[in-house]
Structure 1
Amino acid sequence: MDDTLAKQNLLRYLQTGRDALLWKLEGVSEYDLRRPLVPTGTNLLGIVKHTAGVEAGYLGLVFGRPFPEPLPYTADDAEPNSDMWATLDESRDDIVALYRRIWAHSNATVEALPLDAPGSVPWWPEERRDVTLMRILPHLIAETHRHAGHADLVRELVDGSAGLQKANDNLPPGGPDFWPDYRARLEDTARAAAAAAGEQAPAAAG
């Protein structure tokens, strides 16, 4: 496979993850967009902000093509976890637009460099920080889709919405009516497995 076709395939998978992340923001209130849904504070807009910063690093700084706009939340002296939530000064539109500009910069990096182009990841251990574009693209795809999965679960906690992609939710047929019986079956199975293992399952809610 030549570089051009390989790049097209890799960018297609990367774009699928990008699109899935932004889809999870659609139709969400400002409160639900930002509120922490798990003990570690994970929230929808913060996931997108974090992923944008990650991509700016891997397909910018790593290959000597730094993203031209300052990203203070990625600096070494930034407040811990400041990349994982949006301040009042950072709107949904601001963060989405920034992510899209980072996409364009990243795509230009991929188009400009061969897949064997060398790079260096300063935040990785010294013994493995020397990389190539071919090494970094699958890493970034995996990271983007991992965060899209986070966003999928957080969005479900917000309002019950779920699905893989806007054009293909990849969910079983039946709609909302499918899930109560399905969940009850899983709960019964989990309790039976606990009993077989000699464990005490928590008391049933309600």
Structure 2
Amino acid sequence: MTEATMKADLHHYLRSARGALLWKLDGLSEYDVRRPLTPTGTNLLGLVKHLAAVELGYFGDSFGRPFFAEGKAPVWYGEGAEDNADMWATADESREEIIELYHQAWQHADTTIESQPLDAVGRVPWWPEERRETSLHRLLVHVLAETNRHVGHADIVREFIDGSAGLLDGKENLPPGDRSYWEGYRERLERVAREAGGR
């Protein structure tokens, strides 16, 4: 496998994960995209905002290509930000604004990915000193893993909101079944869990 093929494969899967995340917001109200549905506050729009910051950091700042001009970064981005400030949207931050930032982060990241070889050296300032210097290849794998992890969170949060599930519109990657099928399936799993738990 050539370097170009390897990079293209990683980039393809990253682009696919990006699209899957945004699909999870389709058709939802402002309330629903912001609802914290886990004890740690996980919400759909916050996941988008967080992953925009991830891409801007790893593919921008780490390669000497900051997205935000000096002194112009929002208060939730970078050093000194409140804990978890990138994991939720304020009432003043619109869904459109955050989605647009994510699109801009893709473009900024894609420029780095497309213009640099996989062994290009990046420096991640927030990593421990001994690991701070790394490669584009490692960061591509890291961001792809983190993005897919958060897409999994989004899958579950969206399912809690309205029962929607699957990978992409028209490509759900789930067995066919209506609401009745899934209710029966879930009840079966509950019975098995209770049986196993009672042993």
Same fold per superposition (TM over 0.5): yes
| TM-score for both structures, normalised by structure 2 | 0.95
CA drift of 1:194 comes to 1.0
- The aligned counterpart of 2:28 is 28
- Any idea what the Cα deviations from partners look like across 1:8-65, whole Å, max 9, x if unmatched? 1111000011000000000000111111111111111011101110111011111111
Answer yes or no: is 1:190 the counterpart of 2:193.
yes
Q: What amino acid sits opposite 2:47 in the alignment?
A: I
Partners of 1:107 and 1:7 in 2: CA distance: 11
- The aligned counterpart of 1:93 is 96
- The aligned counterpart of 2:60 is 60
| Secondary structure at 1:72 match in 2 | coil
CA drift of 1:145 comes to 0.6
Partners of 2:59 and 2:74 in 1: CA distance: 14
Partners of 1:167 and 1:65 in 2: CA distance: 37
Partners of 2:182 and 2:170 in 1: CA distance: 21
Q: Percent identity?
A: 57
Q: How does 1:140-179 map to 2 (within 5 A)?
A: 140-179=143-182
| TM-score for both structures, normalised by structure 1 | 0.91
Partners of 1:56 and 1:71 in 2: CA distance: 13
Q: Which protein shows a greater Rg?
A: 1
Larger mean CA deviation between 23-32 and 175-184 belongs to 175-184
Pair 71,5 (structure 1): closer, same or farther in 2 beyond 3 Å: farther
Q: How does 1:8-87 map to 2 (within 5 A)?
A: 8-68=8-68, 70-87=73-90
Partners of 1:45 and 1:12 in 2: CA distance: 23
- The aligned counterpart of 1:203 is none
> How many pairs does the alignment contain?
196
Partners of 2:61 and 2:78 in 1: CA distance: 12
Is the 8 Å Cα contact of residues 53 and 71 (structure 1) preserved in structure 2? no
Partners of 2:68 and 2:9 in 1: CA distance: 26
Partners of 1:81 and 1:92 in 2: CA distance: 18
| Secondary structure at 2:173 match in 1 | coil
Unaligned runs of 5+ in 2: none
Larger mean CA deviation between 1-10 and 79-88 belongs to 1-10
Q: What amino acid sits opposite 1:20 in the alignment?
A: A
Q: What amino acid sits opposite 2:76 in the alignment?
A: Y
Partners of 2:68 and 2:86 in 1: CA distance: 18
- Any idea what the Cα deviations from partners look like across 1:94-136, whole Å, max 9, x if unmatched? 0001100110010000111111101111111111121000111
Which of 175, 183, 187 aligns to 1:180? It is 183
| Secondary structure at 2:134 match in 1 | strand
Larger mean CA deviation between 71-80 and 133-142 belongs to 71-80
RMSD: 1.2
- The aligned counterpart of 1:122 is 125
Partners of 1:195 and 1:114 in 2: CA distance: 55
Answer yes or no: is 1:113 the counterpart of 2:116.
yes
